[in-house]
Amino acid sequence: MSIQPDQEQPEAFAAARYIKVIGRGKDGARSMSREDAQSLYAAMLDGRVSDLEMGAVLLAMRIKGESTEEIAGFMGAAEAHMLRLEPPQHSHYAPLLIPTYNGARKKANLTPLLALLLARRGVPVLVHGVRHDAGRVTTAEIFEAMQQPLALTAEAAQQQMAQRQPAFLPIDVLSPAMARLLATRRILGVRNSTHTLVKLAQPFAGPALRLCSYTHPEYFTMLQHYFGTLAPPARGDAFLMRGTEGETVASTGRAQQIDWFHGGECTTLVHTHSSLLGDVPDTPDACDAATTAQWILAVLAGEIAVPPNIADQVEHCAIVAKMIRDRAVP
């Protein structure tokens, strides 16, 4: 009988000096430098931070809130822990990323409709998010109800996009390390910085268009600053909007403002409407996965009209994805 040597354990990372900076409460805490934030988050993703220190960091950041520099540092670390994807070679559009981490509680989650309409236009669409979330109807569950298979490898995602189908990569496939940090919510009971970071993920080798949403005004201010000053231009452009129950699909009611960030500039594509424009469009009778899937299939078949705000969102996305692609090709 042979004795197997113990697996080499990652070197422990002492987080105390970082906790001392961020852990003094909402009024007493300071923000980390971009470099310190990147070092700390890299160690967290590598599993080199103890459970005790991990909990302290996550709760401290939850209370303090992330600065733009910290988000940039965290993203620098996260980039090394994601799958790398290549967009379809012959597409006329840059790839488009739809993060989906909220799902539906009251209104039907129409993120799959947005993704399918864009893919029908020829835009390579990568959707990424959680498979399940207690008390919510996830995009993954709706795709599965539509017999739309999830992509479980980078190759499968690239093949689906090449076939003009939206590819859904679960976050535990796109970034197992980030998925592990998302899962701490079940233990701590609150969200953490990773819930913001996954919505900013950009795993493509070249530029892409990211659809990003926010739910609280302070995140709008922070993300405006991030996309306007610190997001690397080579990673592409971003649309920023208030989420529909947290999702990045336009509301079927009053339209939300959509801001387009490109090359450090911001252009407002859609202004918030104070009232409904025209009649309220048909919407699903319930928000469960099966009902939502059947309604989306009816829209795709032309039996129900595409909600106007979503149709407008598709047009904006297609136009900008084409512009990004044209900029990238000499």
- pLDDT, residue 217, reads 85
Question: Is it the case that residue 2 has pLDDT exceeding 50?
Answer: no
CB 249 within 8 A of CB 313: yes
> How far is the C-alpha of 104 from the C-alpha of 195, rounded, in Å?
16
- pLDDT, residue 48, reads 97
How do residues 66-93 score in pLDDT, each as one tens digit? 999 999 999 999 999 999 999 888 899 9
* Residue with tokens 């904006």, as numbered in its chain: 316
CB 305: neighbour CB atoms within 10 A?
Answer: 10
**Share of residues in the chain with pLDDT > 90 (%):** 85
- pLDDT, residue 1, reads 35
Question: Is it the case that residue 224 has pLDDT exceeding 50?
Answer: yes
Q: Kindly indicate the confidence band of residue 248, based on its pLDDT and cuts at 50, 70 and 90.
A: very high
Number of H helices, E strands in the chain: 15, 7
What does the mean pLDDT of the chain come to? 93
Question: Is it the case that residue 330 has pLDDT exceeding 90?
Answer: no
CB 92 within 8 A of CB 64: no
- pLDDT, residue 124, reads 97
Give the burial class of 97: count Cβ atoms within 10 A of its Cβ; 0-12 exposed, 13-18 middle, 19 or more buried: buried
Q: Kindly indicate the confidence band of residue 8, based on its pLDDT and cuts at 50, 70 and 90.
A: low
- Name which residue leads in pLDDT, 327 or 142: 142
The predicted model gives 36-50 an average pLDDT of: 98
- pLDDT, residue 57, reads 97
> How far is the C-alpha of 178 from the C-alpha of 10, rounded, in Å?
17
Question: Is it the case that residue 101 has pLDDT exceeding 80?
Answer: yes
Q: Which domains does the chain have, with CATH numbers?
A: 16-81 (1.20.970.10), 96-328 (3.40.1030.10)
- Name which residue leads in pLDDT, 215 or 297: 297
Question: Is it the case that residue 6 has pLDDT exceeding 60?
Answer: no
- Cα distances (Å, whole numbers) of residue 211 to 75, 85, 127, 153, 314: 16, 17, 10, 22, 11
CB 32 within 8 A of CB 22: yes
- pLDDT, residue 277, reads 53
Q: In the 8-state DSSP scheme, what is residue 108?
A: -
Tokens of 84: 């790398």
Q: In the 8-state DSSP scheme, what is residue 214?
A: E
Q: Kindly indicate the confidence band of residue 188, based on its pLDDT and cuts at 50, 70 and 90.
A: very high
**Share of residues in the chain with pLDDT > 70 (%):** 95
- pLDDT, residue 144, reads 97
How do residues 116-136 score in pLDDT, each as one tens digit? 999 999 999 999 999 999 889
Q: Kindly indicate the confidence band of residue 283, based on its pLDDT and cuts at 50, 70 and 90.
A: confident
pTM greater than 0.85 = yes
- pLDDT, residue 169, reads 98
